[in-house]
Amino acid sequence: MKRIVYGLMALLLGSLAVACDTGGEYVVQDDSVVYSYWTFSFGRINDTLPGADASTFRAVNDWLGCDKRQAYYEARPVPGVDVESIHPVRYPLFRDKSDYYYQAVALHVKDMGSFKILDWFERDFWAMDSQCAYYDSLRLDGADVASFKVLNMTTAKDKSHVYYFGKILPQADAATFEIIKNSVYSRDKSHIWCGDDMLQDADFATFAVDDMNRAHDKYGSFTWERRDTAAAE
């Protein structure tokens, strides 16, 4: 269950600050290159870039760098990047002449000419090109791009499937699926979910959302996916 993503939103934003807003930088030290950044828990951290050529290294920005043969996302090598055409898009997405990269992972974009971002949510995003859709580093090869629609940070759908964090949500009826009141709860014609957890004991007819992570039916209340009050016999 990915409800932890909702519950730890503040920590996620904090992790962004650690990586880019609080002074990440590349430092050339003699024959090595270091990525230096500050954390709330451990103070300043210095990570050596494995295999970096200090004599040709250049910082593209404060989270992306390269030498004559290798690109780095923060301190992580990114295989296969054309360093001459490397270009940051938005943290943590960048591109070269033939592909896009999320952090240190290639998206293997099918059609670079039609690739476009649909929605950004802090550092997570949905995108599509003429042939398929994408969530962060996941390529959704079976997605129908003509009907593909983003519903919120975690969820999208096309005419055939609902996608939760880029993975197909089992048993969901795409035609009738909807997010309920901008909450963690969703439903289709037959089922109710909290995130990717189907609420098996929820009474469909009386289910109602109270706020982002609380709901109720005629038998009692829910917090996230858990029932607070035992269902009646």
Q: How many domains does the chain have?
A: 3
- Give the pair of three-digit tokens for residue 207: 């289910």
Nearest to 23 by CA among 61, 53, 52: 61
Residues 57 and 132 in one domain: no
Residues 174 and 202 in one domain: yes
Residues 144 and 180 in one domain: no
Residues 180 and 231 in one domain: yes
Determine the average pLDDT of the residues in 5-26: 50
Residues 133 and 99 in one domain: no
- Give the pair of three-digit tokens for residue 147: 């009907």
Residues 120 and 44 in one domain: no
Q: The domain containing residue 227 runs over which residues? A: 169-233
Nearest to 167 by CA among 197, 139, 125, 129: 139
pLDDT at 15 over 90: no
Q: Last residue of some domain: 82, 106, 130? A: 106
Is residue 172 a contact partner of residue 161, using CB atoms and an 8 Å limit?
Answer: yes
Determine the average pLDDT of the residues in 37-56: 96
Residues 120 and 177 in one domain: no
Alpha-carbon distance of 99 to 124, in angstroms, equals 18
Residues 225 and 187 in one domain: yes
Each residue's pLDDT tens digit, 171-205: 999 999 999 999 999 999 999 999 999 999 999 99
Tell me the H-state helices in 79-137: none
Residues above pLDDT 90, as percent of the chain: 88
Each residue's pLDDT tens digit, 103-135: 999 999 999 999 999 999 999 999 999 999 999
Residues 12 and 87 in one domain: yes
At residue 4, the pLDDT reads: 42
Alpha-carbon distance of 155 to 167, in angstroms, equals 9
Residues 102 and 10 in one domain: yes
Residues 56 and 138 in one domain: no
pLDDT at 19 over 90: no
The residues, any chain, with a CB within 8 Å of residue 215's CB and separated by 6 or more, are 180, 183, 185, 207, 208, 209, 221, 222
The Cα-based distances of 185 to 19, 43, 125, 212 in angstroms read: 31, 38, 20, 8
Is residue 162 a contact partner of residue 171, using CB atoms and an 8 Å limit?
Answer: no
Average of per-residue pLDDT values in the chain: 91
Alpha-carbon distance of 101 to 172, in angstroms, equals 30
Residues 122 and 175 in one domain: no
